[in-house]
Structures are given as C-alpha cells and as structure tokens.
Amino acid sequence: MRDNIAFIRDIKQISKQESIFKKHKDEYKIIFEILGKIIGGKYKATDAGILFQPKGSKKAYNIEIASSSVRSLLMLNYYIFHIANKNDILMIDEPELNLHPKNQILVARLLVLLVNEGIKVFITTHSDYIVRELSNCIMLNNLSNEQIQKIKKQGYSKEYGLESKKVKAYLAENIKGKNTLRAVEIRQDLGIFMETFDEPIDLQNENQGLIFEEVMRGKRSGDDK
C-alpha cells in the first residue's frame, strides 16, 4: 500500500523518465501496440491529478471517474513507459482484475513479451484465460514462421513464442491444514498442465450440456401436445 501511495505521489516525476522500451520505441513497437489495445487510451500526469484520454476522444478525464480496468492498469502502463529495465523483477498480484476475458488474454501475451526481453515476471492468478494463453505461447514456440503465418489472424507472431524453461508454475494447496505449493508440469510441446482449472470448466460444460438436453426435451414434449 505504501509503495502504491508513493507511486501516485511521484507519478509526475516518474513520467519524465524513459524506460528501456521507450528509449528504443521503434524496436519495441509490438509491446506498445498490445499495451494500447489493452488500455484503450493514454494517461497523463498533471498538477490537477492523473488524467485518462480514451482512444478517439479529444477529452481527458480524471482517472477517478474512469473504469476500474483503466485504474488497475495505471501502474503497469507507467512501468512499461517510464521504469522498465532489463533484468527487472516485476510482481503483479492478479493481473486479470477488472479485465474482460479478451484483455486477460492480451495481458498474458504482454507478459510473454516482457519475459522475452529479460524482465523477470512473477504473478499470482485465478484466471484460466491467462494460464491458457501462457500455455499457448509456450506451444507456439514449436512452430515455424510458415506455420505461425497460418494463425496470424488470431494475433500471433513469432515474438509471442515462449520457451518452457523460462516458466515455472505452482499450485497453492491446503493439505491437512497446511498451505503448500506444488510445482505444475510444463512441457514445450503441450504447455502448462494446470488441472485446477480443468475440472470446474469440464463440470460446467457438462452441466450446460445436461441443462440444454432438458430444455430441448421440454420443447419437444410441448410440441407433441
């Protein structure tokens, strides 16, 4: 909390700095493009406070009346623009908070880009979207440039390929009243084996199928009367 307060207090001064990415913006264009898609506008630190200008709008608004997602992405935006350096350690608690699933996927891709540029990223997450997309990027690293071209419409390029050796994942469990961390299997060809998400998703899909069957059965019974 103290770090957050200090960040907000010093943000105008921070905005005068340039990160390794901003110093070489053309080289890291892909990072700023995906960040822009996620945020959907730009921030500005002023004497009157922090303002946010949505993309396509001529007006900027106080961040206090902006969406929760815009507020939650503020620090990540300023880190990438003004603070980031090679070999940094970046820690994010639940990067999925307040984000639409589409943007959760983009955040996962953004984190991959940062890792590939030498940033050591630590996250805690409950997001199946983020874990699955990190897994996709690991598997993507197996593909040739020609194969990646076939899925270009899905937003992939070779820059999103991630080596499995750069990733470690752990599952928090409570065993006999004791909190433990269990290492999760990660393979270059198959990605991350995070079964904690698979079971409830499979169950929900099964429930949806059962409910749909009953709905259709009820409609058929009504048509027969």
Torsion of CA 81, 84, 85, 86, to 10 degrees: -110
Give Rg (Cα) of the chain.
21
**Considering 83, 103, 129, which residue would you say is the last residue of a domain?**
83
One domain for residues 157 and 175? yes
CA distance 111 to 73: 13
Instruction: Tell me the C-alpha distance between 202 and 209, whole Å.
Output: 11
Q: Taking Cα atoms as reference points, which of 18, 30, 122 lies closest to residue 78?
A: 18
pLDDT over 60 at 30, yes or no? yes
Same domain? For 91 and 170 the reply is yes
3-state secondary structure 93-125: ECCCCCCCHHHHHHHHHHHHHHHHCCCEEEEEC
pLDDT value at residue 196: 67
Domain boundary among 66, 83, 100: 83
- 141: region left, alpha or beta (phi > 0 left; psi from -120 to 50 alpha): alpha
125 and 148 fall within a common domain: yes
Which of the four pLDDT bands, split at 50, 70 and 90, describes residue 139? very high
pLDDT in tens, 148-169: 999 999 999 999 999 999 999 9
Q: Do 175 and 107 reside in the same domain of the chain? A: yes
8 and 66, same structural domain?
Answer: yes
User: Which is nearest to 130 in space by CA: 194, 46, 49?
Assistant: 194
Whole-model pTM: value is: 0.86
Same domain, 215 and 157: no
One domain for residues 149 and 185: yes
Q: Where are the alpha helices (DSSP H) in the chain?
A: 2-14, 20-23, 29-39, 68-72, 74-78, 101-116, 128-140, 145-150, 195-224
The verdict on 105 and 146 lying in the same domain is yes
103 and 141 belong to one structural domain: yes
Q: Which residue has the higher pLDDT, 117 or 211?
A: 117
Question: What is the average per-residue pLDDT within 16-23?
Answer: 96
Nearest to 116 by CA among 77, 86, 95, 84: 86
Calculate the dihedral angle through the C-alpha atoms of 101, 104, 109, 110, rounding to the nearest 10 degrees.
Answer: 140
Rounded-to-integer distance, Cα 100 and Cα 214, Å? 31
Same domain, 131 and 224: no
* pLDDT at position 1 over 50: no
Asked if residue 160 and residue 75 are part of one domain, the reply reads no
What mean pLDDT, rounded, does the chain reach? 90
**Together in a domain, 74 and 127:** no
Residue 31: closest CA among 169, 157, 167, 188: 157
Domain count, the chain: 3
pLDDT digits (tens, 9 = 90+) for 103-116: 999 999 999 999 99
Query: End of a domain among 65, 83, 101?
Result: 83
- Per the structure, the complete domain to which residue 151 belongs is given by 86-193
Identify the band that residue 133 occupies on the pLDDT scale cut at 50, 70 and 90.
Answer: very high
**Residue 222: predicted pLDDT:** 66
